[in-house]
Structure 1
Amino acid sequence: MKLFVCQACQNILYFENRVCQRCGHQLAFMPERQILSAIEPAANGFRTLADNTDGRFFCANAAHDVCNWLLEPGESAGFCRACRHNGTIPNLSDPAQLAGWRELEVAKHRLFYSLIRWQLPVKTRIEDPQHGLIFNFLADGPDSHQRVLTGHDNGLITIALAEANDIERERRRLEMGEPYRTLLGHFRHEVGHYFWDVLVRDAGKLEACRAVFGDDSQDYGAALQRHYDQGPPADWQQNFVSAYAATHPWEDFAETWAHYLHIVDTLEMASEFGMEVNPPADQTGGLTARVTFDPYVTKDFQAIVTAWLPFTFAINSVARAMGVRDLYPFILTPPVIGKLGFIHGLVQEGAKGRAEGKFGDKPKAETRAELKAG
């Protein structure tokens, strides 16, 4: 994630800022340029100070204070690049549900920042009625048995609104024995299933992916039940980034995809702050790192790994000094790094393929649904 600068007063801005606290200018994100711009009212919509252009309009969801993105140039009504993928939204007459939806949208917009940075192929349900990417944000029913499960089914991603409640999400984390559980993590994981369809199955990468993650044709339902009944293998940390990744190759891919997004976006933020790790106690240089490259565009995956490991040691140590859990409580073994490298290659090829117009409509040969308890 980037830092931004107010074009009116040069104040430092953050991705979710709606107003510049120094000069008072309203702010809006321009997805086509990945810039947060100060804006001013114009005769036709708003004028963006980033490029001094009139005729820009907010996404319709700005009316609910869940989005600060602009529509595409030339559009005056409708939804932005991120919100056009919404299907079912919460009950807006319920203040609690509206507040929860706002939290979900913060995470979803951060996800789309990454997808746009990579120019990955993403279709809406209008463009692909059967398999386009769509999000349903659902509240649990009044009956205790009507609990919404977060999951993915052929481009349809369901996110449980209850996850927006910090207390409930922590309860579920403890119930599931997880070291980490966030809204952004959910979005990154579930969209990993979507991109398995797009960048693996539909792009002729099945055999290459199976060579890294295993045979995905094994029964998913049985594998999931076995995971919940027996737990992960005793040695799961040797080969998987998380215990849940050991459930099935689909989940291994989605978990690894999510961690790749975690790593790349965090390294970009570290770079934006000019952060470097150079502990005086390090006599060998193994804990020294500085991000001197753009992690979103670099072809050199080893550079990402070499920077990430020292940063995790540093940020986890700082977290412990505050008496809180590790920010990144995961171990990247050589097999896991190999899987991350495979994801890196897919993302770089996917971005290139989108730019060259290689991703057209293809028939989907398989149907499946993945639903996680929690």
Structure 2
Amino acid sequence: MSTTPRCPSCRRFVYLDTLVCPACGTEMGLQVIERVFEAVHAGRTVVDGVTWFTCSERDWGCNWLVREDAPAGRCSSCRLTRRRPDADDTIALEKLATVEEAKRRLVLQIGDLGPPIEGWYQKPGGLGFDLLSSRSDGEKVTIGHANGIITTDLAESLDDVREAVRVKLGEPYRTVLGHLRHEAGHYFQNVLITDDATWSRCRELFGDERESYRDALNRHYEFGAPQNWSDAFISEYATMHPWEDFAETFAHYLHIVGTLQTAAAIGIHLEAGASTLRDTDVEPREDYGDQSVGRTLSDWAALSQAFNRVNRSMGLADLYPFTITPPVQRKLAFIHEIITRARLTTAEQVELALAPQGDERN
């Protein structure tokens, strides 16, 4: 978000998933073009002469608004969901609301960064989400990405299920948003890398993605990560295959710039001397698109250390328990470059969001 979200009536700070202001009771919706909350009455609001309606998925927690000339009653995030549990599977749909909230955060962040999002209903291989539950009768869920479709298991919204997966995969932490960011990395690798020269640079940094994924998977689960993996990789899982290294690094780039953006929006400012890593003030920015990755990572080194200290004071694990080594910095620099190079203007993003729905009727 480009600004701190506030209630349109009382100006109280609200979270991105807020439907009703907890202070004054105003019903609200998020107008995603300007990234501001608007008060809604009877499911609609008028902004600068344009009528916006609440998303038809509002009963399941979606607080986005839909412009009057949009091609459907669902918002641009909800339209990206290709499959979801049956309407009578109310337990799974409750978990769907949690995962959809994380997906909206992802879509907002991608919109802020600027890469194009073309939906599965707009073109073959377009971005889509199958949000299914392994707890539903007869449903087998294989999480991952294939041909633009990201599949996730809604059961992972349950703390015990997600923790079991985290332990199995040897991850220091696992969140629904983090998982979606990782899978989005698989999708955007093919969207953002379109020429031979950039693919060559990608392979120099991450390895050749054309090597057998099945062999790499078997090797990883039989022998684990190589010794000293942390010298060149952001996580153990990144060592499995070049595809996973790219996706993990992409996810961490989103972690970093997203958290820096939030820190900037709420006015966090570290004065010189407050951090042992910088002799100058650290003032995070809402947008690092015109900055070097060095500036981005320098600010993040200071901020993440501060956040880790806050967590430890509460008896919690570190907010960011990772080490960014020089090889990882070079990989993050590559991600930074290809994302900023592909930026769309706001007008271009709106045009994509308002594109015809094709055969989609939901």
Instruction: Calculate the TM-score normalised by the size of structure 1.
Output: 0.86
Distance of 1:233 and 1:329 partners within structure 2: 19
Spell out the pairing of 1:210-249 with structure 2 (5 A cutoff): 210-249=203-242
* Alignment CA distance shift 1:283-1:254 (3 Å): closer
Quote the offset at 1:281 in angstroms: 6.5
Q: Deviations over 1:334-367 (max 9, x none)?
A: 111111111011110111599789xx9xxxxxxx
Q: Which of 41, 44, 47 is the aligned partner of 1:46?
A: 44
Distance across 1 between alignment mates of 2:219 and 2:89 = 39
C-alpha distance in 2 between matches for 1:300 and 1:72: 36
Q: Relative to structure 2, which stretch is displaced further, 347-356 or 229-238?
A: 347-356
1:5 & 1:142 partners in 2: Cα distance?
Answer: 37
Amino acid at match of 1:339: K
Displacement of 1:283 after TM fit? Answer: 6.5
Query: What residue is the counterpart of 1:368 in the other structure?
Result: none
Q: Does 1:101 align with 2:130?
A: no
Give the conservation status (yes or no) of the 8 Å contact 1:278–1:289.
yes
Deviations 1:169-221 (A, max 9, x none): 01211222210100001100001110011111468621121122111111111
Q: From 167, 171, 181, give the equivalent of 1:178.
A: 171
Paired AA for residue 243 in structure 2? W
Asked if 1:324 corresponds to 2:316, the answer is yes
Say if 1:75 and 1:127 are closer, same or farther in 2 by CA, change over 3 A: closer
Other structure's SS at 2:145 match: strand
Distance 1:355 1:151 in 2: 31
- Separation of aligned partners in 1, 2:65 and 2:288: 23
> What one-letter code is carried by the residue in structure 1 that aligns with 2:134?
D
- Does the aligned pair in 1 maintain the 2:169–2:237 contact within 8 Å? no
Q: 1:318 to 1:126 in 2, by over 3 A?
A: same
Cα separation, partners in 2 of 1:314 and 1:141, compared to 1, 3 Å: closer
Point out where structure 1 has 5 or more consecutive residues left out of the alignment: 361-374
Whether the aligned pair in 1 keeps the contact of 2:56 and 2:74 (CA below 8 Å) is yes
Residue number in structure 2 paired with 1:14: 15
| Equivalent pair of 1:3/1:14 in contact (CA under 8 Å) | no
Tell me the SS of whatever aligns to 2:249: helix
Distance 2:120 2:142 in 1: 21
Contact 1:260 1:344 in 2 (8 A): yes
How much has 1:105 moved relative to structure 2? 0.7
CA contact (8 A) 1:134 1:157 kept: yes
How large is the Cα RMSD of the aligned pairs? 2.6
1:30 to 2:31 alignment? yes
Aligned: 1:308 with 2:303: no
Question: What secondary structure sits across from 2:343 in the alignment?
Answer: helix
Measure how far apart 1:142 and its partner are: 6.9
CA distance in 1, matches of 2:48, 2:137: 53
User: Does structure 2 conserve the Cα–Cα contact (< 8 Å) formed by 1:101 and 1:137?
Assistant: yes
Residue 169 of structure 1 aligns to which amino acid in structure 2?
R
Which range moves more in the overlay, 71-80 or 53-62? Answer: 71-80
1:55–1:275 distance in 2 versus 1, CA, 3 Å: same
* Equivalenced residues, count: 349
How far, CA to CA, are the matches of 1:340 and 1:316 in structure 2?
Answer: 21
Moved more, 146-155 or 316-325: 146-155
| From 153, 157, 174, the counterpart of 2:146 | 153
Matching residue of 1:55: 51
Q: Please list every run of 5 or more consecutive structure 2 residues that lacks an aligned counterpart in the other structure.
A: 353-362
Q: Structure 1 residues 101 and 143, CA, compared in 2 at 3 Å: closer, same or farther?
A: closer
| 1:251-262 paired onto structure 2 within 5 Å | 251-262=244-255
What residue number does 2:129 align with?
135
Shift of 1:135: 0.5
Report the Cα offset of residue 284 of structure 1. 7.0
Asked whether the 8 Å contact 1:40–1:47 carries over to 2, the reply is: yes
**Distance in 1 (alpha carbons) for counterparts of 2:269 and 2:237:** 32
> TM-score w.r.t. structure 2 length?
0.88
Deviation at 1:143, TM superposition (A): 8.5
Rounded to whole Å, the distance in 1 between the matches of 2:101 and 2:291 is 29
8 Å contact from structure 2 (residues 103, 180) kept in 1: yes
Quick check: 2:273–2:279 contact (8 Å CA) kept in 1? Answer: no
Contact kept in structure 2, 1:87 and 1:135, CA below 8 Å: yes
Distance, in Å, in 2 between the alignment partners of 1:331 and 1:305 is 11
Residues 1:132 and 1:218: Cα distance change in structure 2 (over 3 Å): same
Name the CA distance, whole Å, in 2 between partners of 1:227 and 1:327.
27
Aligned pair in 2 of structure 1 residues 143, 229: CA closer, same or farther (>3 Å)? farther
CA deviation after TM superposition for structure 1 residue 39, in Å:
2.5
Identical aligned residues as a percent: 38
1:271: which partner in 2?
264
Q: Which residue in 1 is equivalent to 2:358?
A: none
Q: Quick one: distance in 2 between partners of 1:40 and 1:336? A: 49
